[in-house]
Amino acid sequence: MEGSDPQKGDKMLYKRVLSAIVGIPIVLAAVHFGGIWYALLLLVVVNLGVFEYYRLFQSKSYNLPLFFGFIGVTCFIAVIFFQQAVLVYPLIIIIFAVLYMHALLNMDRFSISEAALLLWGIIYLGGLGGFMLMLRMLPDGAFYTYLLFFSVWLHDTLAYFIGTKWGVRKFAPLISPNKSVEGSMAGILGLTSIMFSTSILAPTFLPLAAMQALFLGLGIAVFAQLGDLLESALKRQLEVKDSGALIPGHGGILDRFDSLLFTAPFVYYFFLLLSTVRGIQ
């Protein structure tokens, strides 16, 4: 946020901190208890995300059937919660078919392009959100999920403060004018350095080999930035600043969970592959 008004920046920081004080304990408690409590948290998150996604496109006169969006993401979370991941592909086909038939029967009010946009949103929120639940359901899933949240939060914090204080060169001006190269590098180098150092100096907290920790930190940082850029590009094309105003200082659910949604699949497959390799050895 280079060149912004200092007083406005202070107010924004205050709102961010206050939101974190309220929101983080709720998230951590849900992760700790797992099971239905964590699934319900994700169910709320993805459904609120669908509503924000709908409102974003509504601002440009798109008519996305919100009801199908709610049903779609809820089915994704339910299928994962009941450990029926084998049904994910049939679920995508069913959602595709339902939206296609809805478009055919309502050509005067609902277009094929709108059906495609809604399907994309369902997979974005329900599909990627499902990985956050799958990660928690792994053996040692609570640790992996805590690691996901703390790593992404740490990356975002480093990128935000360093970029705000010392950011000069624009990272992706056509997508997100406030993002800087300095902030991006701070997030990547800071997170990878901390993960690498922790694995060596405090292996109890991060029981990974140094190179494994380095690769994990790098992957999380890269995917966190890709997730943030994706949502920024969506807002840029629709000419809106935030996806919503639910979380003071952060915007909406999409603004806060975009990095987590994109990073969760990487973290899930990293630990799934690692456990498989360890099992073979």
Per-residue pLDDT tens for 123-168? 999 999 999 999 999 999 999 999 999 999 999 999 988 988 897 8
Q: What is the pLDDT of residues 184-223, one digit of tens each?
A: 999 999 999 999 999 999 999 999 999 999 999 999 999 9
| pLDDT (0 to 100) of residue 198 | 96
Contact 260, 250 (CB under 8 A): no
Q: Are residues 15 and 150 in the same domain?
A: yes
| Confidence check: pLDDT of 1 > 60 | no
Residue 27 within a domain: no
Q: How many domains does the structure of the chain reveal?
A: 2
The alpha-helical segments, DSSP class H, found in 209-252 are 210-238
| H or E segment and range at residue 38 | helix 35-58
The pLDDT of 270-281, averaged and rounded, is: 84
Within-domain flag for 256: yes
Do 185 and 65 belong to one domain? no
Mean pLDDT of the region 245-262:
79
- Which of residues 111, 137, 163 is at a domain's end? 137
Q: Can you say how many angstroms the Cα of residue 159 is from the centroid of all Cα atoms in its chain?
A: 16
Contact 171, 181 (CB under 8 A): yes
Same domain, 94 and 182: no
126 and 98 in a common domain = yes
Range picked from 103-117, 163-177, 188-202, 251-265 for highest mean pLDDT:
188-202
Residues 41 and 128 in one domain: yes
- Judgement on whether residues 11 and 145 belong to the same structural domain of the protein: yes
How much is the average pLDDT of 70-94? Answer: 96
**Residues 98 and 228 placed together within one structural domain of the fold:** no
Q: Note whether residue 115 is domain-resident.
A: yes
Q: Are 241 and 264 contained in the same domain?
A: yes
Nearest CA to 211 among 192, 230, 237, 239?
192
pLDDT at 266 over 60: yes
Residue 120 belongs to domain spanning? 34-137
Q: What is the pLDDT of residue 7?
A: 57
Q: Note whether 251 and 163 are same-domain residues.
A: yes
Q: Do 265 and 149 have their domain in common?
A: yes
